[in-house]
Amino acid sequence: MSWFFFALISTLGWGFADLFYKKGTDENDGASHLKLAVWVGLVMGVCSLVLLPFSETGFSISSLLVNAIKYSPASLGYIISMVIGYAGLRYLELSIVSPVQNASGALSVVCMLVFFTAAGRITDFSEEYSALDIVGSVLIVAGVIALAVVEQRLAAAEKELAPEERKYRFGALALLFPILYCVFDTLGTAADGIILDEETGLGLGEIDVLILYGLTFLAAGIAAWIYLWIRAKKPYNPFASAERYKGVAACCEEFGQIFYVYAMAAKPLLAAPMIASYCIVSVILSRLILKEKLKVSQYACVVSVIVGIVCLGVSEGLSEA
């Protein structure tokens, strides 16, 4: 299976994860984001333990610690960004949060280009990618960034509305959550592209990355669970029926993560912006299921991204023909 299909599956998985993150978020629960972190840590931790015997570099305690340090720039960037993103879902609609957050796909490509240029590998990439790849990537990046800009303008325009009519409970200030997510996710994605690169990477295979990320998130989830226990003076039960959407979201997250790692290992400069376009899946699902209303400008951005993905798909098909 090619990188394109890995990226496409990851895009769909994370798009559905966003939907269930939103459905599992209680706007009146100040600890909702930490409860999501507990569930994601639980699911990723279990998957990591299942994969541990298949580690490509061994699974001794010493090797795990060494590799965890190597992978920490990516894992910490992701974990911080995701918890911030969970918090933002309390204040913003999904169709607003996801596009602003996922401008990170474009920014991470810039970071990777700078690194690969400094490493002397940029000529290898320029020979590997076709004109159709470039057109598709530009359309995706332009669509995602344009959608983020549209959302920011909508936030500014809502200052004229009565407080009860606003989507943004704290006005444009609420956009700090997805913006901070974007910054940390950019660092994580760029680090992943560099770490997983076969020539300039750190020698970590895809399974090793899944194990390390999962175990790191498990530690973060345990820390969040302990904090919730101390704060509420009783242990948080993630298996309560009211928490079911959090569990579904965590499973979709891990599903997307598995395919993301293989896509990034194959073609990071193309996979990063394409997978970041999962915000388009989130926007479409928010319209169909959450009944969030979209404007013409938002639909135009969606079309741009879809056309870009089609271009990448056609290019991949031609290269394999």
Q: Can you give the residue ranges of every domain in the chain?
A: 3-320
Per-residue pLDDT tens over the stretch 245-272? 999 999 999 999 999 988 888 887 778 8
- Please, what is the end-to-end C-alpha distance for the chain in angstroms? 14
pLDDT, position 298: 75
DSSP 14: H
CA distance 113 to 268: 10
- Average of per-residue pLDDT across 56-73: 76
Highest mean pLDDT among 88-97, 135-144, 259-268, 271-280: 259-268
CA distance 182 to 107: 9
Burial of residue 8 (number of CB atoms within 10 Å: 0-12, 13-18, 19+): buried
Residue with tokens 């899944």: 210
Whole-angstrom distance, CA of residue 231 vs CA of residue 35: 13
> Mean pLDDT throughout 267-288?
79
Q: How does DSSP classify residue 161? A: S
Mean pLDDT of 81-94: 79
Could you give the CA distance from residue 75 to residue 42 in angstroms, rounded to a whole number? 16
pLDDT of 143 reads: 77
Whole-angstrom Cα distance, residue 77 to residue 68?
A: 13
C-alpha 52 chain-centroid distance: 23
Grouping H, G, I as helix, E, B as strand and the rest as coil, residue 97 is helix
CA dihedral for 201, 202, 207, 211, sign (positive or negative): negative
Other C-beta atoms within 10 Å of 275: how many? 26
Dihedral, CA of residue 134, residue 19, residue 170 and residue 145, to nearest 10: 10
Residue 281, phi then psi, degrees to nearest 5: -60, -40
Q: What is the reported pLDDT for 256?
A: 94
C-alpha 21/C-alpha 24 separation (Å) is 5
Q: For residues 199-208, give the mean pLDDT.
A: 72
Spatial distance between the Cα atoms of 263 and 189, rounded to a whole number of angstroms: 12
Q: Which amino acid is at 317?
A: G
Task: Say if residue 147's pLDDT is above 80.
Answer: no
Which ranges of the chain would DSSP assign to H, the alpha helix? 3-23, 32-51, 61-88, 94-101, 104-118, 122-128, 131-157, 176-196, 206-232, 244-266, 268-276, 278-288, 296-320
CA distance 56 to 33: 33
pTM of the model: 0.80
